[in-house]
Amino acid sequence: MTHYAAPLRDMQFVLLELAGLEQLARLPGCEDATPDTVEAILDEAARFAGEVLSPLNRSGDQEGVRLDGDVVTMPAGFAHAYQQFAGNGWNGIGCEADFGGQGMPKLVVAAVQEMWKSANVSFSLCPLLTTGAIEALTLCGSAELKAAFLPKMVSGEWTGTMNLTEPQAGSDLAAVRTRAEPQADGSFRVFGQKIFITYGEHDMTDNIVHLVLARTPNAPEGVKGLSLFIVPKFLVNPDGSLGARNDVRCVSVEHKLGIHASPTCVMAYGDGGGAVGYLCGEENQGLGYMFIMMNAARYAVGLEGVALAERAYQHALNYAKERVQGPEIGSRTGAKVTIIHHPDVRRMLMMMKSQTEAMRAVAYVTAAALDAARCHPDAGERKRSQAFAELMIPIVKGWSTEMAQDVSSLGVQVHGGMGFIEETGAAQHLRDARITTIYEGTTGIQANDLIGRKIARDGGATIRAVIGLMQGLDGQLAEQAGDDFAAIRRALSGGAQALSQAVDAIVATFASDARSASVGAVPMLKLFGIVAGGWQMARAALAAQRHLVTGEGEATFLQAKIVTARFYADHVLSQAGGLAYTVVNGAPGALALSEEQF
Amino acid sequence: MTHYAAPLRDMQFVLLELAGLEQLARLPGCEDATPDTVEAILDEAARFAGEVLSPLNRSGDQEGVRLDGDVVTMPAGFAHAYQQFAGNGWNGIGCEADFGGQGMPKLVVAAVQEMWKSANVSFSLCPLLTTGAIEALTLCGSAELKAAFLPKMVSGEWTGTMNLTEPQAGSDLAAVRTRAEPQADGSFRVFGQKIFITYGEHDMTDNIVHLVLARTPNAPEGVKGLSLFIVPKFLVNPDGSLGARNDVRCVSVEHKLGIHASPTCVMAYGDGGGAVGYLCGEENQGLGYMFIMMNAARYAVGLEGVALAERAYQHALNYAKERVQGPEIGSRTGAKVTIIHHPDVRRMLMMMKSQTEAMRAVAYVTAAALDAARCHPDAGERKRSQAFAELMIPIVKGWSTEMAQDVSSLGVQVHGGMGFIEETGAAQHLRDARITTIYEGTTGIQANDLIGRKIARDGGATIRAVIGLMQGLDGQLAEQAGDDFAAIRRALSGGAQALSQAVDAIVATFASDARSASVGAVPMLKLFGIVAGGWQMARAALAAQRHLVTGEGEATFLQAKIVTARFYADHVLSQAGGLAYTVVNGAPGALALSEEQF
């Protein structure tokens, strides 16, 4: 068993030193997010995550969810924990105040959500999906629909789901077949089957509000014929009380590799005559609404990568500090030591620590940009921030989740044979993390978004500006004394150069030969993620050094940050050149074989 | 569900073109392994693997093993499959003829074993452990012990186990506490508990022969006080019939992430007064015997990496050829295609294919060296072959199993959301593969063996000779026309140079600062594995080209081999420079933090 303790010190450091929390709190609409208030929120969230959610993580994994008829029973303790979660007001922390939310900036919400995800990722998916449904409703719902559903969704009294894919569709929403037939009263009857519906059914709340993509009669083919509908599990009476049970049922729950405590449902709509649905927004605009929400959803899944890496790291670190095995290298006494003394175990822990910190920094900086894009008084700054955030979203999603595979696998490895035994709990993090590179758009989909919409579309302008910021650190890094900064400077310079070469290749290739460019998409995503992480770690090292010089802050933490940035430079940033080589040269070998030659 | 079809064409290519099967069959003691005979053996093994073992892989995973009292019940079908396996003579294929084996060279055994491991790795562990026990007995058993146990173990009528570690010991065998008390009749009574005992108990055979490391009274402390004992589940009467039940019991089976159909047992010795054991070899020499067998065991686990990568590849490839989703990039019609048409799916499949083929080539070439080390008439050649094989064993074990993590994870990724659903079966390969970097010595242990005993001890002489062989291909590669060979040549040249730099750094550092050298151990292992794989793929491309020129062989296969080698060069070999950078520069950042700073 493992206890989760939120990494408050690192979170605060990233919020203040890298993501600019103080500056953010000066923006209109973000005034409540003062550093003091945020510190109090994070302390409280850390307590809830550690004391309520974390203890249910392992038991939830072992127990899983149970389907009897169309009733899904959650693992023991989940319903009670959820009621506390909603009762404490955590559900609406990032929602607009109009319907009861606290309107905290995305930066603050990111730090809080990281804790839920580290403590119990299965649990965290329920409020995550509710948040997505709230955003959709806020975005495109009529005043009536908002009044009927939003207050209870913001409070967490009801949860929400997103119903997109179907068995034949997968990532290709053009293939969605669920249909919605208009009724005389303005409502619709929805018919069809949806798969992979997270928290499609559960026993934690009285009602569940499903958002469903479906086609109206005579809608255009493909993605241009999708409309968005609200289909509540129970209809809502005019007075707000619950009415009749709607014709939507959970007919199956998946048996999955991980996130066992999160019900992944097959939902059947209309088997008994049609599920009552309400059109949300305009007809045939469903995919557009989904796209607007997609950034938030992808960002949130990227944060799962950060969070699971953190959890795996804590688990492995605790073990490495306790497990005694073998003597230290070069020991004359042969005295046994804890395994953290063994260089390869240290190397693994530093890989986990440095990559997790780099991912967190990239994610929080991106959240701050999303806030600036919304709140900054200067239109140019809003536009630049939006462009930066959109560039980074596929990195937060794609890179953090890919790295979470490596980090959680290293967590198993640190445990040796015990890591393979389920009771140890290390393997759960690996199993839980495995979905994150898949849902909300696979890594391949993120990477194609990156090279197409985010890089090639503006001719590389946005990413080249970011590379300019990276290179702009060179002078400051050169001014610092010591080997650590020399190593960081050298690796960041090499990384930025490699990234620049790869960007040139992608921009040059994309328009003329999109297939070839696409072969380099995932290597490009990893390259950009690694270099962006190195950039943030270099900024972190510089900030730490500033504080060390002035004597503010905790010296051992600040020194560790510099060492961690240096480790990252030598062990992770060093991969940049090889990835750039693949982006530039890798297409012909990937595309030459005929199908039969595989 | 997925069908396993042994990759006979690639196996034959590697055996003949890279591992020198024809030359091997001319060595004394290997004359039976003519290419025709080997082809017949492989065809037969492929049939057994595909028709008998593979269908039990998924059901075995789902059903798992059951412990009632001290009785372990295997999943349905396993006992029957095992009896066919033994009845067909597969168990003794590599054993000496004296006790009923067929004495096939290790190269041939490797190809056959790869099939068992791909088809059903849980099943394959039973004969693998028996083989280990047979080798130990053959190595150090008295004539009486051999006569009593070997014939039935070689035939497979009885199985064997290896009992090394204990709860407090892990990888540190110096901490073993199990004790053996001498009796007046020359036997011993064994007392203690052993953990992680693969197939320590099962219902497939009448008897199980345990090999157990234990301490005699007054034995020296640490690893120099370990002796090896034979402890059969049932004692054997002088006439060979089974006698009394011995005092050894399975008291628990582990609940593991993968290999669910392989019972991992906690074994209790002597709870009822002492388990009867027989000293095998000389007192206090137990660890030495284990070390001699270790090469074979580590090699075999490395082969599991190759085999699971192959299985995951086949699974993903079949899916990619069947699953229709989305239109091809640049398609004007929007017609849906199978996902193998999507560049990133191709890239993933090529990563899986090229790395699996590279691993197979390295593994088989190493097996051929083990055969030459045993059978070559020239003493110098035997010595060189032995040195080469010992250098490569940690690569076959460490690199192949690390790559199997990546390849099996890619296999899940190719499946998208379906990959996360257990029914699909893709996740099983990932779960099964996860143990391979841990047991028989973790990757860290392999890597420290590599840099210490295999590189630093001879001042880098053996590995530099291998680098010389790699560089010796340059002229031949330069002579070939076309971009593919130019790409292969460029990447191999860069890889060999990077490897050379890393070797220089390790040799220079190891004696003076073993801790720093050890930080670079795993990066060095991966670097050497990647470059060795690229070397073999370059040899494969040259051999394929020779056949294309002469018009022999299947052109589409030979052309695919060249393309695959080129893909490997651009996507995998390209990582060499970054890894060498880490080997050379990575120590300070890994070692600087105090324990409290983590």
- Is the confidence at residue A155, as pLDDT, over 70? yes
Is residue B537 domain-resident? yes
A2 has a pLDDT exceeding 80? no
Q: Is residue B422 part of a domain?
A: no
Average pLDDT over residues A402-431: 97
Q: Do residues B20 and B84 both lie within one domain? A: yes
Residues of B taking part in catalysis: 440
Counting every residue written for chain A, the total comes to 598
Confidence (pTM): 0.97
Q: Which of B168, B196, B344, B357 to mutate to test the interface with A (most CBs of A within 10 A)?
A: B344
Residue B267 contacts residue B213 (beta carbons within 8 Å): no
Residue A136 and residue A42 share a domain: yes
Q: Can you spell out the DSSP letters for A475-542?
A: HHHHHS-SHHHHHHHHHHHHHHHHHHHHHHHHHHHHTT-HHHHHHTHHHHHHHHHHHHHHHHHHHHHH
What share of chain A in percent tops pLDDT 70? Answer: 100
DSSP A29-50: T-TT--HHHHHHHHHHHHHHII
Task: Read off the pLDDT of residues A554-575 as tens digits, 9 standing for 90 and up.
Answer: 999 999 999 999 999 999 999 9
Distance CA A152, CA A168 (A): 34
CA nearest A349: which of A329, A319, A328, A322?
Answer: A319
Same domain, yes or no, for B27 and B92?
yes
Strands A66-68 and A71-73 come out as antiparallel
Determine contact, residues A175/A194, Cβ cutoff 8 Å. Answer: no
Q: Check residue A598 and give its pLDDT.
A: 96
Considering only alpha carbons, which residue of chain B is nearest residue A563?
A: B589
Contact between chains at A444 and B342 (C-beta distance less than 8 A): yes
Per-residue pLDDT of chain B (598 residues; tens, 9 = 90+): 568 999 999 999 999 999 999 999 999 999 999 999 999 999 999 999 999 999 999 999 999 999 999 999 999 999 999 999 999 999 999 998 889 999 999 999 999 999 999 999 999 999 999 999 999 999 999 999 999 999 999 999 999 999 999 988 777 888 899 999 999 999 999 999 999 999 999 999 999 999 999 999 999 999 999 999 999 999 999 999 999 999 999 999 999 999 999 999 999 999 999 999 999 999 999 999 988 788 889 999 999 999 999 999 999 999 999 999 989 988 888 899 999 999 999 999 999 999 999 999 999 999 999 999 999 999 999 999 999 999 999 999 999 999 999 999 999 999 999 999 999 999 999 999 999 999 999 999 999 999 999 999 999 999 999 999 999 999 999 999 999 999 999 999 999 999 999 999 999 999 999 999 999 999 999 999 999 999 999 999 999 999 999 999 999 999 999 999 999 999 999 999 999 999 999 999 999 999 999 9
Q: pLDDT, tens digit, for every residue of A187-216?
A: 999 999 999 999 999 999 999 999 999 999
Tokens of A199: 């928290």
- Quote the crossing angle between the two packed helices A521-550 and A483-510, to the nearest 10°: 150
State mean pLDDT over A283-312: 93
Residue B198 lies in a domain: yes
- Which pair of tokens denotes residue B45? 């093994």
- Of the pLDDT bands very low, low, confident and very high (cuts 50, 70, 90), residue A1 is low
Chain A partners within 8 Å of B519 (Cβ): 343-344, 346-347
Domain with B279 in it: 159-284
Boundary of a domain, candidates B284, B319, B341: B284
Helix (H, G, I), strand (E, B) or coil at B227: strand
pLDDT reading at A18 higher than 60 = yes
Do A178 and A233 belong to one domain?
A: yes
Same domain for A473 and A545, yes or no, is yes
Give me the number of domains chain A comprises: 3
CA-nearest of B107, B97, B93, B102 to B23 is B107
Q: Pick from B267, B284, B301: which residue ends a domain?
A: B284
Nearest CA in chain B to A568: B589
Tracing tokens 């005034």 back to the chain, one arrives at A31
Q: How far is CA A237 from CA A145, A203, A232, A243, A245, in A?
A: 12, 21, 12, 6, 12
A190 and A128 housed in the same domain:
no
Report the CATH number that the domain containing residue A15 is assigned in CATH: 1.10.540.10
Give φ, ψ of B480 to 5 degrees.
-80, 145
CA distance to partner chain B, nearest, from residue A554 (Å): 11
Indicate if the pLDDT at residue A479 is higher than 70: yes
Mean pLDDT of A27-45: 96
Catalytic residue among A135, A166, A310, A440: A440
**pLDDT value of residue A322:** 96
Task: Give the separation between CA A418 and CA A425, rounded to whole angstroms.
Answer: 9
Asked if residue B177 and residue B274 are part of one domain, the reply reads: yes
Instruction: Check whether residue B148 and residue B265 sit in a common domain.
Output: no
- Whether the predicted pLDDT of A331 surpasses 90: no
- Chain A: give the shortest CA distance to residue B150, in Å: 30
Distance between CA atoms of A535 and A541, rounded to whole angstroms? 10
Structure tokens at B561: 């081999």
**Residue B224 belongs to a domain with what CATH number?**
2.40.110.20
pLDDT band at A402 (very low <50, low <70, confident <90, very high): very high
The answer to the question of residue B291 being in a domain is: no
- How many other C-beta atoms are found inside a 10 Å radius of the C-beta of residue B223? 18
Q: What is the pLDDT of residue B175?
A: 87
The answer to whether B359 touches B392, Cβ cutoff 8 Å, is no
| Residues of chain B positioned with their CB less than 8 A from the CB of A443 | 413
Nearest in space to A250 (alpha carbons), one of A236, A261, A263: A263
Q: How many CB atoms lie within 10 A of CB A216?
A: 18
Does one domain contain both B22 and B35?
Answer: yes
ipTM exceeds 0.90: yes
Contact list in A for residue B516 (CB cut-off 8 A) is 343
- DSSP conformation letters of A229-292: EEEESEEE-TTS-EEEEPSEEEEEE--BSS-TTS-EEEEEESTTS-EEEEEESSTT-HHHHHHH
Which of A100, A488, A382, A141 is closest to A280 using CA atoms? A141
> Which residues on chain B are in Cβ contact (under 8 Å) with A413?
437-438, 442-444
Greatest distance between any 2 Cα atoms in chain B: 88
H-helix or E-strand spanning residue B474: helix B474-479
In a domain? residue A239: yes
Token look-up 């069959």 returns B25
Q: What is the pLDDT of residue B196?
A: 93
Q: Residue A62: is it exposed, middle or buried by C-beta count within 10 angstroms (0-12/13-18/19+)?
A: middle
Residue in B122, B440, B567, B594 to test binding to A, most A beta-carbons within 10 Å: B567
**One domain, residues B88 and B115:** yes
Flag whether B269 is in a domain: yes
Average pLDDT over chain A, rounded to whole?
A: 96
Q: Is residue A280 part of a domain?
A: yes
Rounded Cα gap, residues A129 and A161, in angstroms: 5
Residues B235 and B251 in one domain: yes
Residue where a domain stops, chosen among A128, A154, A180: A154
Q: Is A338 domain-assigned?
A: no
Cα A305 from Cα A533, distance rounded (Å): 14
Partners of A518 on chain B (C-beta within 8 Å) are 329, 342-344
Please report where in the chains the tokens 């499946």 appear, as a residue. B415
What does the DSSP assignment read for B575-598?
A: GHHHHHHHHHH-HHHHH-S-GGG-
Burial A438-453 (b: 16+ CB within 10 A, else e): bbbbbbbbbbbbbbbe
> Is residue A164 located within the same domain as residue A278?
yes
Helix or strand run (H / E) with residue B326: strand B324-327
Cβ–Cβ below 8 Å for B343 and A590: yes
CA distance B123 to B152: 19
